[in-house]
Amino acid sequence: MASNVNPTVRRRRLGQELRRLRELKGMTAEEVAERLLVSQSKISRLENGRRSISQRDVRDLCGVYEVDDHRIVDSLMQMAKDSRQQGWWHSFGDIPYSVYIGLETDAASLRAYEPQIVPGLLQTRPYAEALITGALPETAPGDIDKRVQVRLKRQERISAPGNPLRLWAVVDEAALRRIVGSRLAMQEQLEHLVEMSQLPHVTVQVLPFEVGAHPGLNGQYAILEFPDAADSSVVYIEGVTSDLYLEKANDVQKYSVMYEHLRAQSLNVDQSRQLIADIAKEYAR
């Protein structure tokens, strides 16, 4: 198996397959947990890909589901083995949003709405340093530097040769006018945003103040889509102490429709680029 297997995505695929086998057997998660003498929450975490899956877990579950085809069992066991490999982000130690990084690393496209800050994939180092320092005032300098390094490493996904991430970002005007760091840092950040928006696979639209109330007032979110049809799209909502991942088709559809409204109410690409450039000049003055 290739060494670049994404453990997060493997875990999701394996969890989806285990859920399918359980449903084919007509069993509830509670019934499976009772059979294996484990908690029902463990079964749920295994199925939603939030928990590492061991080959023993797979063996026990296949036994409960009476899977007789050794090819299926062997395939699931191999997926369990692959899912326990470490992604590039593990070398940085304990990263609170490692699940999201794993999904982002394997995604084909990302639609993001940011009401307060420039999207992480489009941030400059000075902006990211000032942002993380301000948002986490009690964090040690070493940990801040680690977070900045991870953020910059994530940005390599946009320039991946032959397979760049398709990024569509709707950014509220507030994110452009909030001074993070210094005026010089903001000037450089907005100039970088203009430069990135000229890439063929990066689209940036600005949601201006004059729009007033809009569907994104509840806060930031991102929609990730994957190249393999077997991997369902995911809505990611970042939290202070925990993050939310929505994978049900109905939930993804609602957020997708909301995103289309945000795009429609935003300035078009050329108007957005011009506004960003104009605000950058204001910082320069």
Residues in contact with 146: Cβ distance below 8 Å, sequence separation at least 6, in sequence order? 92, 93
In percent, how much of the chain has pLDDT > 70? 95
Residue 276 has pLDDT above 60, yes or no: yes
* C-alpha torsion angle, residues 266, 267, 270, 273 (rounded to 10): -80
Residues 196 and 139 sit within 8 Å (Cβ to Cβ): no
Q: Beta partners for 3? A: none
* Burial grade of 24 (CB within 10 A; 0-12, 13-18, 19 or more): exposed
Residues 116 and 174 sit within 8 Å (Cβ to Cβ): yes
- Token pair, residue 185, equals 């840092």
* C-alpha torsion angle, residues 20, 7, 2, 68 (rounded to 10): -30
- How do residues 233-265 score in pLDDT, each as one tens digit? 999 998 877 788 888 889 999 999 999 999 999
DSSP-based three-state secondary structure for 16 = helix
Mean residue pLDDT of the chain comes to 89
Global pTM exceeds 0.95: no
- How do residues 198-220 score in pLDDT, each as one tens digit? 999 999 999 999 999 999 999 99
Q: In the Cβ-directed half-sphere of 94, how many Cα atoms lie within 13 Å?
A: 1
Element (H, E) at 194: helix 183-197
DSSP-based three-state secondary structure for 225 = strand
User: Which domains, and CATH codes, for the chain?
Assistant: 7-85 (1.10.260.40), 89-284 (3.30.870)
Choose among 237, 202, 7: nearest CA to 109: 202
Residues 50 and 102 sit within 8 Å (Cβ to Cβ): no
In percent, how much of the chain has pLDDT > 90? 56
Of the pLDDT bands very low, low, confident and very high (cuts 50, 70, 90), residue 279 is very high
- Token pair, residue 30, equals 């509670």
Q: Please give the pLDDT value at position 98.
A: 79
Most confident of 19-33, 87-101, 117-131: 117-131
Q: How many CB atoms lie within 10 A of CB 71?
A: 7
Residues 246 and 232 sit within 8 Å (Cβ to Cβ): no
* C-alpha torsion angle, residues 41, 46, 51, 55 (rounded to 10): 130
Q: Please give the pLDDT value at position 2.
A: 36
